């Protein structure tokens, strides 16, 4: 994976399909304990948004590689006092070996990457969540032995998670269907990019029909109906999104062996019912664990430890 050394991951599209597959395979090997690279480097976490899984999984991954983590909480750094991001980037570039940034505007991520020479990882923006999609793809691979040829339906808001799933599935040859209410479709530019990546290998579909979207699929995926920063819209969205709830009736439309995925946190009784997330089809906890494994593989690759 030396080809990834020193590079940024701002979007899954920054990787080739082969490189995505290599990261997933390395993550699987590291999870199994057959490969154990060491990397005594320093990871900085610059998070403008709340986080549980991303913060903890990146921290544990770096510690397991033998490195250290610095939590760069904006509230206790000069960022909170208006220091320009390009200045922060150039200074942290002198101290750190890699940085993961979780923010709202993807332009902030791009600015940091432009002014820092160290690898910059997108730990979530309003546009994309590539590390989550890598964990999702690894979970599909574990459950079905492959990603290529499977079919995944994402039901709910056409948000950052949906965007990265569209790209990741298309890159690895998985059919992907995204079902949203009208007005909440994924970014059309990303849909077009996913279709170009898919070519003739697989299908990329955007629809408003959740029942048709999940018909005989291998995986049903959902996320909260109002992402961080959209909480004020939650009550207005409820009636629009109710037909997109992942419940027993919707699950019955999928394959008998279908798995259910959710990137968490979950609002039981809203986008997913308690019986489904706690049921036998749920792979949500494996999916959450896999955040750590794919990020450890990604860190090791970007830092040249493998």
Q: Where are the alpha helices (DSSP H) in 152-217?
A: 160-172, 188-198, 210-213
Name residue, tokens 């997913």: 272
Residue 84: which residues within 8 A CB-CB, separation 6 or more?
Answer: none
Question: H or E element: which one contains 68?
Answer: strand 68-71
Q: Residues 8, 97, 218, 223: which is the catalytic one?
A: 223
Catalytic residue list contains 267: no
DSSP state of 127: S
Catalytic residue list contains 283: no
Catalytic residue list contains 157: no
Judge contact between 186 and 162, C-beta under 8 A.
yes
Judge contact between 178 and 205, C-beta under 8 A.
yes
Catalytic residue list contains 38: no
Q: Residues 131, 169, 202, 263: which is the catalytic one?
A: 263
Q: Residues 163, 177, 291, 293: which is the catalytic one?
A: 291
Q: Residues 53, 55, 102, 163: which is the catalytic one?
A: 102
Question: H or E element: which one contains 143?
Answer: helix 130-144
Q: Residues 53, 129, 262, 293: which is the catalytic one?
A: 129
Q: Residues 8, 53, 64, 132: which is the catalytic one?
A: 132
Judge contact between 223 and 262, C-beta under 8 A.
yes
Q: DSSP string of 263-291? A: -S---BTTTB-HHHHTSTTB-HHHHHHHH
Catalytic residue list contains 242: no
Rg for the chain, CA atoms, rounded: 19
Catalytic residue list contains 129: yes
Q: Report residue 64 as tokens.
A: 């397991």
Active site residue ranges:
102, 129, 132, 223, 263, 291
């Amino acid at each position: 994976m030396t080809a990834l050394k020193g590079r940024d991951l701002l979007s899954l599209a920054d990787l080739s399909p082969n490189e995505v597959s290599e990261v997933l395979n390395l993550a699987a090997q590291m999870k199994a304990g057959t490969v154990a690279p060491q990397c005594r480097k320093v990871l900085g976490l610059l998070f403008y948004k709340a986080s549980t899984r991303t913060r903890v999984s990146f921290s544990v991954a770096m510690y397991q590689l033998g490195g250290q983590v610095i939590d760069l909480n904006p509230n206790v750094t000069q960022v909170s006092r208006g220091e320009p991001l390009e200045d922060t980037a150039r200074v942290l570039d002198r101290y750190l070996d890699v940085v993961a940034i979780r923010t709202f505007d993807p332009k902030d991520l791009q600015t940091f990457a432009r002014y820092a020479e160290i690898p910059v990882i997108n730990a979530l923006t309003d546009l994309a969540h590539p590390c989550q999609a890598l964990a999702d793809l690894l979970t599909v691979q574990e459950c079905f032995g492959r990603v290529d040829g499977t079919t995944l339906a994402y039901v709910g808001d056409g948000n950052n998670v949906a965007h990265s799933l569209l790209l990741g599935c298309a890159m690895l040859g998985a059919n992907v269907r995204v079902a949203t209410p009208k007005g909440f479709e994924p970014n059309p530019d990303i849909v077009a990019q996913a279709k170009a990546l898919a070519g003739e290998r697989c299908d990329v579909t955007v629809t408003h029909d959740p029942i048709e979207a999940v018909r005989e699929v291998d995986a049903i995926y959902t996320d909260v109906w109002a992402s961080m920063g959209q909480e004020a819209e939650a009550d207005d969205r409820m009636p629009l999104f109710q037909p997109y709830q992942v419940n027993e009736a919707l699950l019955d439309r999928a394959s008998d062996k279908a798995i259910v995925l959710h990137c968490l946190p979950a609002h039981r009784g809203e986008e997913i019912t308690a019986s489904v997330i706690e049921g036998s089809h749920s792979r949500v906890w494996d999916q959450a664990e896999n955040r750590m494994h794919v990020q450890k593989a990604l860190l090791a690759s970007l830092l040249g430890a493998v």
